[in-house]
Amino acid sequence: MEKVTARAGKAAEGKRAKELFMDYGIYVILAAMIVFFTVQKPNFLTISNILLILRTSSVLGIACVGMFFVLIVAGIDISVSMNMYISAVVGGTLLNNMGMPLIVCFIASCLCGLVIGAINGFFVTKVKIVPFIVTLATYSVARGMALFLTNQQMMFLDNKVMGLASAKFLGISAFVFIFLAVVIIAHIVLTCTQFGRQLYACGNNLQGANKMGINGPRTVWFAYMICGTLCGIAGMLSACNLGVINPNFSQGDEFVVISSSIIGGASLFGGKGRVFPGAIIGIVMVQAIINGLTMIGASAYVYTIFRGVIIFLAVMVDSIKFSGEIR
Amino acid sequence: MSEIALELKHITKSFGDVQVLKDITLTLKKGHTLGLVGENGAGKSTMMNVLGGIYQKNSGEIFLDGKEYTPASPKDAGASGIAFVQQELNLFTNLSVTENLFITDMPKNKLGIVNRREMRRTVEEKLKEVGAEEISPETIIASLPMGQRQLVEITKSIMAEAKIIIFDEPTTSLSNTEKEKLFGIINKMKEQGKSIIFISHILEDVFTHTDEIAVLRDGEIISQRKTSEADAATIIKEMVGRELTNIYPTCEKTIGEVVFETKDICQEGRFDKVSLSVREGEIVGIFGLMGAGRTEYLRCIFGLDPMSSGEVIYRGKRIQPVEPENCIENGMALITENRREEGLLLPKTLRENIVLSSLKSHRKGNGRFFMNAGKERESTAKMTEELRIKTFDPNEQTAGTLSGGNQQKVVFAKWVLSDPRVFLLDEPTKGVDVGAKYEIYTIIQDLAKQKSAVIMVSSEVEELMGVCDRILVMNNNRFTGELTKDEDYSAEEIMKYAVGGAV
Amino acid sequence: MNTLKKLKSIDAIYWFVAVFFIAALIFVPGFANLAALERLLSQGCVLIILACGVHLTVLNGGVDFTSTALLALTTVVGGSIMSTKGPLGGSAGALFLGLLVMVLLGLGFGIINGFSITTFKMPSFIVTMATQMIVNGLAVVYTGGASVTGMPSAFAKFGKGSIFIFPYLLIVAIGVAVVMHVITTKTLFGRQLYAVGTNHKAALISGVSPRKTIFKAYVLSGICAGIAGIVMLAYMQSGSVNYGATMFNDIMGSIIVGGTSPAGGRGKIANTVMGALLINMIDSVLNILGIPYYFITLIKGLIILVAASIDLIRMERKAAR
């Protein structure tokens, strides 16, 4: 009798260990990498580098918050990077060619992002095409449009943007505060409003949501629109940060955004994740490692492979967790 | 108290060319319970969906408290005071009880921020009303057991000040105590002046708990009368529209040696050494109340759910590994209770469905790869004829377009064709009309006659008593009783084992 | 009446191809010459083979992004083995080894994809996107970004030669398409594939193992990518990490324009081949007309959206009836 319970105890222990690994394993690996970089390059963990990491995280972090909305309703948006590109181009054009004030350019970027998000949402909810196909198509369309608008040229932004790019408060870049503001607002929307809770409901069981009288399609559509709008902001901020918009602007960033969101606790299967602190943890970890890889002089292709591996691992953990879940 | 709460007049509704509701005329008095009975496919759910604003009626009028009522959406229906308690649970497992109950109308301030304290207070009150004080409003649904989830579902329906509450087969997933609790709640609601429509397949419940009974058949209300003036025989006759003399077919067969055994089946958190054996040509019934573990047992020994230890043995040979593919290769077959999700390829033709589990034996010659289309067609024709599946062309018609009974026959055809020796049937007549039920009983008897071993799970005691040679009763994930046909079955005896009170 | 019915039963894609072809012949100068048409067909070969492979994965409700990256990896690895500048000096043995390695590489990554998707139940599009990045990275690591040249003459002959007017490469592509057509329509595996794509659970309970079926689909898709690599290498006579970089839209476009449902369970190989031809024709017409490449990208994105929308709307109408 005792033996049996002992074995059962061990089995439970093993199970708990597995669960622990599933919950925290990826953080341990990432933390280990950060320790590795610190040992390799002592100036990795300096205040100035940390501030730099936070600043670069802030730009994509905003897109990450957008991705959270889409992931919560069990969708996916691959077009985020090209959405950032075209929004930045629209904002940049207004800034350069028409001399509009920066705030107007930001509003224009937001609107551009909103339109693309609305198109994504339309095809996902009204025509009911699989999200990854829709957003893959809008990825191409947005990229084509942006290249057309820039005539495939680099676009140098007016010096006005330097003001924002170098603005600091308490020694911390203004970007970080913009990111934090977005996170806080998103967190409040998601946890303290009916709309936010309905987003989670739709991600958990869309059919059930419709039956309950939630306007499921509209809610999901809104999620895509929010994601698009935030990508618009992220795109313009990124352009301000770099001062220039290249033809390969933000290419591949969709993977950074998706993997950061999943590491931050969102799930590809919907209904899960907290923007605060998830989005912050996810994006800062991923950016810290990208930063570390650059510091130890890893070449661009190592970075590509790394992106592939990290998204693979994040999704693997997410999938294993999900298959053990009962809905 | 005989004011009319709801009145339907000559409602019609068709989908494409199919007229589902032909002429629905029905009245519901205030503070009364109206039982609604009818075969599957009679139009009950369509009618409820029209009331609930999910479908729009084609013609006719509905009056709610004497005023014309045409709901455009489920929200509309809710606002007008019509609430539903669905058969299946409709809860968001990632949200808390409170959030589930308030998901469409949370109290909020001007900024749209939700007032959680107010929500919790209301939920606590409502939970008490239903007698479910033990549930904390902040619990996430995923961590509640099924019975408690059902209570949350019922609480949901009384959240809005509903005047009319429609219960659509609410008792199917409830244990007996939970069921009693439910009827208690219904009576309470009645006392508060609410009107109730109670849809059920279980006549007994309808007779004991309603004031009036309406019978729906083929999209028409056949009768509506006071419960005290109704009798079961008449109601059944009206439901099916014909007399059924012999409900359970019998046949001559011989029962042989034990051929199929499951030994010491264990599943973590559920089964602890549960064994069972079946003889050749024997039909063994498994009865148990909801949650007793019957379905789970079948799924476990078929390899659909994990088995931590135990043996599945056919004719002395241990089947290993216990995985669906291997079980099938060793002559086992499983018919699940939800054929639309787990039994059929709805958008595919009958032929593709019927051949599905015997694809390998329909290969060309001795080859490994190629299919023999001619042989497939032959087998399909044979099966559709043998099981009398109503179809215009099994090579063209898709399974999704068949009626429930015919769909179930396709599932049977699929298995009969692959010629298994051990049949595991999980509620084989669920959602099937009375006429088709009889045909399915005949098929089951034929299987036994051809020396298959049959294990049949059912919630209907009567059905098991009519069909099975032996009945095992399950309670709390183990077998608590066994009855054989020779000893004469008694429903009370079976129920005694099922509630676990027997020694 | 009967002929009308027959005409109606022809899938829409054939009409698109025919109408587009005739319109291009009439309205696009430079489209209607033999050399251009031959080039069109040769270029289409790679797309046809890749699309046939990915088609299998789409049939079970998944997708395979890796194939475009595998195209690049196999050409550089296979090319460097065959190359006259390589350690084996372009011998016949090197040629065969090169071809074998290309197919095996495809197979290997097919196995990795299939394993991850069936064992961990990961969504296929993310898995294959991740492996796409990894494979691409590996290709760059392998070559350092340079292209691989110096194919042996026998291989050059294979790339440029033809029987009558049919290039060898086209024959290979048609061969692959025919094999895939037979696999999907006539074999046990094909039937299992459609069953799993239509209803995963019902297939499992009926003794069709979704795991094995899905796994095989990804392996076959990988092998197709390897063969596509061979054809690409033969056609270009050099291996490069840039091959296939922009091809995924073409692959998905071919499959969806051909009427295959992205949700799985429905679609024909022949239609996907027609889809590939259509996409290729659109490509070359736009090129002849001098449309800049970014517009072509944009148009292809739109094609996917429109084709998928039309398909879904038609299905919905059918269901309503």
Chain C residue numbers touching B328 (CB-CB < 8 A): 206-207
Residue pointed to by tokens 């618009």 = A232
CB-nearest to A193 from B54, B74, B114 is B114
pLDDT at A54: 92
Least confident of B12-16, B58-62, B198-202, B243-247: B243-247
**Residue C181 sits at the chain B interface (C-beta within 8 Å):** no
pLDDT at C89: 77
- Determine the CATH number of domain C36-311: 1.10.3470
- Could you confirm whether domain B4-240 is CATH 3.30.70.980? no
Query: B131 in the Ramachandran plot: left (φ > 0), alpha (ψ -120 to 50) or beta?
Result: left
- Cα dist from B129 to B86, B140, B309, whole Å: 19, 20, 44
Contacting C residues, span 262-291, partner chain B, CB-CB under 8 Å: 265-266
Contacting A residues, span 249-278, partner chain B, CB-CB under 8 Å: 271-272
What is the C-alpha separation between B19 and B193, in angstroms, rounded? 35
Pairing of strands B283-288, B470-475: parallel
pLDDT at B503: 35
> For residue range B379-394, what is the model confidence (pLDDT) as tens digits?
999 999 988 888 888 8
pLDDT at C319: 67
Chains in touch with A (3+ beta-carbon pairs under 8 Å) read B, C
CB-nearest to B92 from A192, A201, A325 is A201
Instruction: Give the chain A residue whose CA is nearest to the CA of C253.
Output: A137
Q: Do A201 and B93 touch (CB under 8 A)?
A: no
> For residue range C84-99, what is the model confidence (pLDDT) as tens digits?
887 777 788 899 999 9
Mean pLDDT of chain B: 84
**Residue A325 sits at the chain C interface (C-beta within 8 Å):** no
**Residue A195 sits at the chain B interface (C-beta within 8 Å):** yes
Please name which of A214, B32, B137, B500 lies closest in space to residue B151, comparing C-alpha atoms: B137
Least confident of A224-228, B189-193, C31-35, C57-61: C31-35
**Residue A180 sits at the chain C interface (C-beta within 8 Å):** no
- Residues C245, C246, C251: CA angle, nearest 5 degrees: 110
Output the six-digit token pair for B354. 């019927």
Complex ipTM value: 0.86
Q: Do C195 and B352 touch (CB under 8 A)?
A: yes
Residue pointed to by tokens 């997708």 = C63
CB-nearest to A305 from C137, C301, C304 is C137
Q: Do C127 and A309 touch (CB under 8 A)?
A: no
Share of chain B above pLDDT 70, in %: 92
Distance in Å, alpha carbon of B404 to nearest chain A alpha carbon: 22
Q: Do B359 and C192 touch (CB under 8 A)?
A: yes
Mean per-residue pLDDT for B167-186?
76
Q: Per-residue confidence at A146, pLDDT binned at 50, 70, 90? A: very high
- Name the residue with higher pLDDT: B54 or B326: B326
Please name which of C183, C313, C294, C314 lies closest in space to residue C249, comparing C-alpha atoms: C294
Query: B214 in the Ramachandran plot: left (φ > 0), alpha (ψ -120 to 50) or beta?
Result: beta
For residue A103, count other CB atoms closer than 10 A to its CB. Answer: 8
> For residue range A290-324, what is the model confidence (pLDDT) as tens digits?
888 888 888 878 888 888 888 898 888 888 888 76
For residue B242, count other CB atoms closer than 10 A to its CB. Answer: 9
Please report, to the nearest 10 degrees, the dihedral formed by the alpha carbons of residues B110, B116, B120, B126 taken in order.
40
> For residue range B419-466, what is the model confidence (pLDDT) as tens digits?
888 999 998 887 777 778 888 898 999 889 988 999 999 877 778 888
What is the C-alpha separation between A119 and C301, in angstroms, rounded? 13
Mean per-residue pLDDT for A168-179?
88
Chain B residue numbers touching C9 (CB-CB < 8 A): none
Q: Report whether pLDDT(B163) > 70.
A: yes
pLDDT at B499: 65
pLDDT at A14: 60
Tens-level pLDDT at each residue, chain C (321 residues): 567 777 777 788 888 889 998 998 888 888 877 777 777 877 789 999 999 999 999 998 899 999 999 999 999 999 999 988 877 777 888 999 999 999 999 999 999 999 999 999 899 999 999 999 999 999 998 988 788 888 888 888 888 888 877 889 999 999 999 999 999 999 999 999 999 999 989 999 998 999 999 999 999 999 999 999 999 999 999 999 989 888 888 999 999 999 898 888 889 999 999 999 999 999 889 888 888 988 888 999 999 999 888 888 887 777 655
**Residue A12 sits at the chain B interface (C-beta within 8 Å):** no
What is the C-alpha separation between B124 and B137, in angstroms, rounded? 7
CB-CB contact of B355 with B417 (8 Å): yes
For residue B397, count other CB atoms closer than 10 A to its CB. Answer: 18
> For residue range B263-283, what is the model confidence (pLDDT) as tens digits?
999 987 788 888 999 999 999
pLDDT at C105: 96
> For residue range B396-427, what is the model confidence (pLDDT) as tens digits?
888 888 877 888 999 999 999 988 889 999 98
pLDDT at A5: 39
CB-nearest to A140 from C63, C141, C300 is C300
pLDDT at B128: 84
CB-CB contact of C260 with C271 (8 Å): yes
> For residue range A245-259, what is the model confidence (pLDDT) as tens digits?
999 898 889 989 999
Residue pointed to by tokens 């898995």 = C127
pLDDT at B435: 75
Q: Do C312 and A127 touch (CB under 8 A)?
A: yes
What is the C-alpha separation between B333 and A2, in angstroms, rounded? 39
CB-nearest to A319 from C122, C131, C141 is C122
Interface mutation target, options B339, B362, B370, chain C, most CBs of C under 10 Å? B370
CB-CB contact of C64 with C128 (8 Å): yes
Please report, to the nearest 10 degrees, the dihedral formed by the alpha carbons of residues C31, C33, C37, C43 taken in order.
-70
CB-nearest to A194 from B73, B92, B106 is B106
**In chain B, where are the structural domains located?**
4-240, 255-331+420-503, 344-419
Chain A residue numbers touching B104 (CB-CB < 8 A): 194, 198, 212-214
Chain B residue numbers touching A74 (CB-CB < 8 A): none
**In chain C, where are the structural domains located?**
36-311
Chain B residue numbers touching A211 (CB-CB < 8 A): 54, 74, 86, 90
- Cα dist from B163 to B33, B166, B192, whole Å: 12, 10, 10
Q: What is the pTM of this model?
A: 0.84
Q: Do B114 and A213 touch (CB under 8 A)?
A: no
pLDDT at B283: 93
Q: Do B359 and C208 touch (CB under 8 A)?
A: yes
CB-CB contact of A171 with B89 (8 Å): no
- Determine the CATH number of domain A44-323: 1.10.3470
Which range of A49-58, B245-254, C98-107 scores highest in mean pLDDT? It is C98-107
pLDDT at B172: 62
For residue A153, count other CB atoms closer than 10 A to its CB. Answer: 10
| Rg of chain C (C-alpha set) | 20
pLDDT at A83: 96
pLDDT at B20: 80
**Residue A184 sits at the chain B interface (C-beta within 8 Å):** no
Q: Do A144 and C138 touch (CB under 8 A)?
A: no
- Provide the number of CB pairs (under 8 Å) joining chain A to chain B: 68
Q: Which residues contact C207 (CB under 8 A, 6 or more apart)?
A: B324, B325, B328, B329, B357, B418
CB-CB contact of A314 with A266 (8 Å): no
The residues on B that touch C, with CB distances below 8 Å, are 16, 302, 304, 323-325, 328-329, 334, 336, 341-348, 352, 355-357, 359-360, 363, 368-371, 414, 418
pLDDT at C111: 97
What is the C-alpha separation between B256 and B467, in angstroms, rounded? 18
Please measure the distance between the N-terminal and C-terminal CA atoms of chain C and give it in whole angstroms: 23
Mean per-residue pLDDT for A124-152?
92
pLDDT at B201: 65
Q: Do C308 and A138 touch (CB under 8 A)?
A: no
**In chain A, where are the structural domains located?**
44-323
For residue C10, count other CB atoms closer than 10 A to its CB. Answer: 10
CB-CB contact of C154 with C95 (8 Å): yes
**Residue A4 sits at the chain B interface (C-beta within 8 Å):** no
Q: Report whether pLDDT(A1) > 50.
A: no
Q: Per-residue confidence at A7, pLDDT binned at 50, 70, 90? A: very low
pLDDT at C163: 84
CB-nearest to C297 from A76, A140, A268 is A140
**Residue C149 sits at the chain B interface (C-beta within 8 Å):** no
pLDDT at B42: 72
Distance in Å, alpha carbon of B300 to nearest chain C alpha carbon: 12
Instruction: Indicate if B255-331+420-503 has the same CATH topology as B4-240.
Output: yes
Q: Report whether pLDDT(B244) > 60.
A: no
Q: Report whether pLDDT(B189) > 70.
A: yes
CATH topology of domain B255-331+420-503: Rossmann fold (3.40.50)
Pairing of strands B59-64, B4-15: antiparallel
